[in-house]
Amino acid sequence: MGSAPEVAAESGVVRGRRFGGVDLWRTVPYAAPPVGPRRFRAPQPVPPWTGVLDATRFGYAAHSHRLSSPLGLLKRQVQHEDCLTLNVCAPADRSGPSRPVLVFIHGGGYFEGTSALPVHDPRALVAKFGVVLVTINYRLGGLGFVDFSRYAADFESNLGLRDQVAALQWVRRNIAAFGGDPGNVTLWGQSAGGSAVLTHLMLPASRGLFHRAIAQSPVPDAVRTPEQAAATARRCVEALGADADTAAATLRDAPATAITAAAIRVMLAAAREVPCQMSLAPVIDGDFLPEDPTTAITEGRAERVPLLIGSMRNELGHAGWGPVRQFIDIVPTTAARVDRMFAATDPAARAQVLAHYPDYPSRAALTRLAGDCFFVRPMVAVAEGHARHAPTYLYRLDYAPFLLRLIGMGAIHATDVPLVFGSEIPAVQLLTLGERGRYRSMSDSVQQRWIEFVRTGTPGWPSYSDDGAALVIDGPHPHVVPGLHRSMWAAWRDYAGPQRGQSFPAAHQEGQ
């Protein structure tokens, strides 16, 4: 570590830390703490400070469950409502032209996660490619993705999304001071973060704040209708022991941990009733989020920026693995859950979908079905729609570390994150025992293509509009496959989707 770099941002001077050839500023506030009367309100401007703000350590993670914010085996990031902060990593040498900017939105189903996870360490990627990388926190779960606005005039909807917009606005105003180019910003996210990226494509408030988009393993249809959002809010209020008359006072006064825990209980119960349904998610409120993102994208009402989008080959390989599938009961990895999902959403689609899986109901078929339903189906819908209006590049990441191949999980959800960041945290070292060199080659191959997209708007393979082309990344030298998802899409395209289930059957004991 060298000198402590200081930068004058709009609210005051921030002091970071130098690590070799990169500088890192942690926990820089992009909005005022959403505490007290600002709970359930849109993010407010940061009050200016005097002196120099120490941005050398991580502050708070957003509230979630206790395992949501690990910083190591025995260390965790403290959770607090004062979480509207971001981290900036930039080359130490900021002479010369401004650098391309990436803004990363972490995943976690809109209810867990933090930008401080070791797997999100930006230093390796910044040192290798000379970009500026911003990672952000935003409100989660009951404090960010439940619409309580019906209970008080000053409560607002879509708070987590509003936080993300505020972070993008901060980047637009401040990133030049860190060496970044505000006219070349790529919005990048994984899982729920990828879903958020696609939502920002059509958010009026996000217009002009970014110029390219990367969505890794998104669930694009994870948005709630007003009726669904009202039901979720009502259940959360009841879980807190309140009713419509006492909801506002309860929500203002309850500990953040209580609201968070209530929302997670409601979320898990709803997903058991309708497998794959995400009840903690943005709501189509007719104002901030005016319509369904996939519809807006398909009909040309979204930002027409280049889009890089894709999934893992075995997204839910962990949820369908051995005895695990009996415990992870919120995705359709058993025949009983598949039947329950279709019964609650779109019974007429069941036969056509199941015909696509000739080995159904084998464990392998159920695992493929679950991943296709939750991730691949809505992702292809977005790729189809966006490709009508803007350059769209599809991929599937088939590479799995040695240990995951050995135990039969394969290329599961979130294993793409360390590949792109270039992380070699202990978990990655364990998973890649005996093939560290191959893993590094894979990481370099993926990084090169992602950064080429960030710099030029194309990752170096044909667009999806060229016969449904997709890049299959199964080794350091991936290959293009035309029509990769064509048969899957034909089977699923008429299905309404698990997010649109309107019936809520009573919880029951599953027979298998």
The answer to the question of residue 259 being in a domain is no
pTM of the model: 0.97
> In the predicted model, what is the mean pLDDT of the chain?
95
The answer to the question of residue 100 being in a domain is yes
pLDDT digits (tens, 9 = 90+) for 79-134: 999 999 999 999 999 999 999 999 999 999 999 999 999 999 999 999 999 999 99
Mean pLDDT value of segment 447-467: 97
- Regarding whether 316 and 299 lie in a shared domain, the answer is no
Number of domains making up the chain:
2
Residue 325 confidence (pLDDT): 82
Alpha-carbon span 139 to 352, nearest angstrom: 39
Question: In terms of residue numbers, what domain contains 354?
Answer: 307-498
Residue 2 confidence (pLDDT): 55
Residue 505 confidence (pLDDT): 35
Q: Which 8-state DSSP code applies to residue 374?
A: I
Q: Which 8-state DSSP code applies to residue 385?
A: H
Q: Which 8-state DSSP code applies to residue 463?
A: -
The answer to the question of residue 239 being in a domain is no
Mean pLDDT value of segment 44-56: 97
Q: Helix, strand, coil: what percent of the chain each, to 5?
A: 40, 15, 45
% of the chain beyond a pLDDT of 70: 97
pLDDT digits (tens, 9 = 90+) for 293-329: 999 999 999 999 999 999 999 999 999 998 888 778 8
- Regarding whether 212 and 359 lie in a shared domain, the answer is no
Residue 275 CB coordination number (10 Å): 26
- Regarding whether 186 and 130 lie in a shared domain, the answer is yes
The answer to the question of residue 252 being in a domain is no
* Residues labelled catalytic: 191, 315, 413
Task: Give the strand order in the sheet containing 12-15.
Answer: 6-9, 12-15, 52-54
The answer to the question of residue 272 being in a domain is no
Does pLDDT of 508 surpass 80? Answer: no
3-state SS, 260-296, equals HHHHHHHHHHHHHHCCCCCCCCCECCCCCCCCCHHHH
If DSSP codes are grouped into helix, strand and coil, which group holds residue 470? strand
- Regarding whether 368 and 300 lie in a shared domain, the answer is no
pLDDT band at 501 (very low <50, low <70, confident <90, very high): low
- Regarding whether 355 and 293 lie in a shared domain, the answer is no
- Regarding whether 160 and 48 lie in a shared domain, the answer is yes
Domain C-terminal end among 257, 277, 305:
305
DSSP string, 16-76: -EEETTEEEEEEEESS----GGGTTS---PPPP-SSEEE-SS--PBPS--TTS-BSSSS-B
The answer to the question of residue 361 being in a domain is yes
**In the numeric block, which tokens belong to residue 492?**
């699923």
pLDDT band at 512 (very low <50, low <70, confident <90, very high): very low
**Tell me, what CATH number does 125's domain have?**
3.40.50.1820
Question: Which of 217, 278, 257, 148 minimizes the C-alpha distance to 411?
Answer: 217
Does pLDDT of 246 surpass 70? Answer: yes
Does pLDDT of 507 surpass 70? Answer: no
123 Cβ neighbours under 8 A, 6+ residues apart: 19, 22, 24, 89
- Regarding whether 322 and 415 lie in a shared domain, the answer is yes
What is the number of alpha carbons within 13 Å of residue 48 lying toward its C-beta? 8
The answer to the question of residue 356 being in a domain is yes
Domain C-terminal end among 277, 305, 333:
305
- Regarding whether 133 and 206 lie in a shared domain, the answer is yes
Does pLDDT of 74 surpass 90? Answer: no
- Regarding whether 364 and 300 lie in a shared domain, the answer is no
Reported in sequence order, the residue ranges of 294-351 that DSSP labels E, i.e. its strands, are 307-312
What residues pair up with 216 in beta bridges, in sequence order?
Answer: 190, 310
